[in-house]
């Protein structure tokens, strides 16, 4: 992915995975190894922060009902608006996605490292796969995802299954993957898998540079 200034690391890896697969656990380990990590979830909040043109555009499209008393985006109200309305969801994406991508490009232009990780939870759904040099998918068995989701979000099995069903098919993600980390073991096993990929990416970046 090119930044607006035209500079970028030699290798940019898009990291994705299903809900509760362990994306944060993996990205935190890369960060601990000194790898720059750009989280698009954080950028998604920035582009609709109070006073931003993104929030103004959301208000213009969806009305004052999605702005709370503090002048911040009422995420729950917005989710209710777009949950069953495909047109509304696409309108929201048309507002936020270009702004998020622009911020990713700017952040990549500031990176001084052989490679960087960009965490994009909905990379496949958003159609952003072609923006990255490699796609890393964090994968887990659905039963394990369900257990983690129930524990993390304090929801019952039916709610967890609904959340899992709302995401793209696991097979579709894996079909786009250049690399896969199966997050099904101990923290130490995950450490080792991340370290192996870290060395691989350093090597690939050196060959590209």
Portions of the chain given CATH number 3.40.50.300: 1-36+114-209
Q: Give the C-alpha separation, 154 to 183, whole Å.
A: 21
**CATH, range 1-36+114-209:** 3.40.50.300
24 is an annotated ligand-binding site residue: yes
Look at residue 205 in the predicted model and tell me its pLDDT. Answer: 97
For the question of whether the overall pTM of this predicted structure is more than 0.85, the answer is: yes
20 is an annotated ligand-binding site residue: yes
- Residue that has been written with the tokens 């192996």 in this structure: 196
- Residue that has been written with the tokens 């097979």 in this structure: 171
First and final C-alpha spacing in the chain: 15
pLDDT of 180 over the 70 cut: yes
What is the chain's length? 209
* Per-residue model confidence as pLDDT tens digits over 80-98: 888 779 899 999 999 999 9
208 is an annotated ligand-binding site residue: no
Look at residue 166 in the predicted model and tell me its pLDDT. Answer: 62
pLDDT of 157 over the 90 cut: no
Look at residue 130 in the predicted model and tell me its pLDDT. Answer: 94
* Per-residue model confidence as pLDDT tens digits over 102-156: 999 999 999 999 999 999 998 998 899 999 999 999 998 777 778 877 877 788 8
Q: What is the mean pLDDT of the chain?
A: 90
pLDDT of 2 over the 60 cut: no
23 is an annotated ligand-binding site residue: yes
77 is an annotated ligand-binding site residue: no
Residue 69's nearest CA partner among 44, 83, 50 is 50
């Amino acid at each position: 992915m090119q930044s607006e200034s035209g500079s970028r690391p030699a290798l940019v890896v898009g990291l994705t995975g299903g809900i509760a697969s362990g994306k944060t656990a993996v990205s935190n380990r890369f960060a601990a190894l000194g790898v720059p990590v750009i989280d698009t979830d954080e950028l998604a909040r920035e582009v609709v922060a109070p006073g931003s043109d993104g929030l103004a555009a959301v208000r213009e499209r969806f009305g004052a009902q999605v702005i709370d008393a503090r002048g911040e985006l009422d995420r729950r109200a917005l989710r209710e608006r777009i949950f069953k309305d495909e047109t509304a969801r696409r309108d929201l994406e048309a507002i936020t996605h270009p702004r998020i991508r622009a911020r990713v490009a700017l952040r990549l232009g500031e990176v001084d490292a052989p490679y960087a990780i960009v965490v994009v939870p909905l990379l496949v759904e958003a159609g952003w796969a072609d923006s990255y040099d490699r796609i890393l998918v964090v994968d887990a068995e659905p039963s394990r995802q369900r257990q983690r989701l129930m524990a993390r979000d304090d929801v019952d099995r039916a709610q967890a299954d609904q959340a899992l069903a709302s995401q793209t098919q696991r097979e579709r993600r894996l079909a786009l993957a250049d690399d896969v980390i199966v997050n099904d073991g101990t923290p130490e096993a995950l450490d080792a898998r991340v370290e192996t990929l870290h060395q691989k990416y350093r090597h690939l970046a050196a060959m590209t540079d």
